[in-house]
Amino acid sequence: MPFIKVYIHFVWSTKNRFPFLKTPEIRSAMWKHIKENANEKGIFIDFVNGYNDHCHCLVSLGTEQTISKVMQLIKGESAFWFNKQNFITEKFQWQDEYFAVSVSESVVDRVRNYIKKQEMHHAKKSFQEEYTELIEKFGFREFKDTTN
């Protein structure tokens, strides 16, 4: 049996960054459900949290798991579950795009703490500001559709 530890910090937003997750109670239910559902599917979520329009998730990938499959399972099922709960009248959706960055074992506690403090963090900074910082910090380039 192989022994691996590969941490990935995922960040994704709601469709059009709409504040579907507008109350602490709704957010708490979503994060709890994401963690429980992931556990049933053999996905180890170390920590999950977020704010009214996005989610942060620290995941330790298993030997047979890919980034895209983990995201598909977490996002697809959680949106389906959320819509069945009737928390809101609008149809809940996650944005297609997401960030995924590797996390060194030496900074797992720092990333976990950052995810834990999302409520406090976003009292001072919008998700758009955080998004721009992530793009710059990790050297991502925003996709520009040149087919039109």
- 142 occurs within a structural domain: no
- 72 occurs within a structural domain: yes
The reported pLDDT for the residue numbered 137 is 75
What's the domain count of the chain?
1
- 145 occurs within a structural domain: no
- 117 occurs within a structural domain: yes
- 16 occurs within a structural domain: yes
Residue 122 clears pLDDT 80, i.e. is over it: no
Q: What's the pLDDT tens digit per position in 74-96?
A: 999 999 999 999 898 999 999 99
Quote the percentage of the chain above a pLDDT of 90. Answer: 72
- The pTM of this model reads 0.85
Q: What's the pLDDT tens digit per position in 97-112?
A: 999 999 999 999 999 9
- 148 occurs within a structural domain: no
Residue ranges making up the domain that contains 58? 6-137
Three-state SS for the chain is CCCCCEEEEEEEEEHHHCCCCCCHHHHHHHHHHHHHHHHHCCCEEEEEEEECCEEEEEEEECCCCCHHHHHHHHHHHHHHHHHHHCCCCCCCCECCCCEEEEECHHHHHHHHHHHHCHHHHHHHCCHHHHHHHHHHHCCCCCCCCCCC
Q: What is the CATH number of the domain that holds 11?
A: 3.30.70.1290
The reported pLDDT for the residue numbered 148 is 46
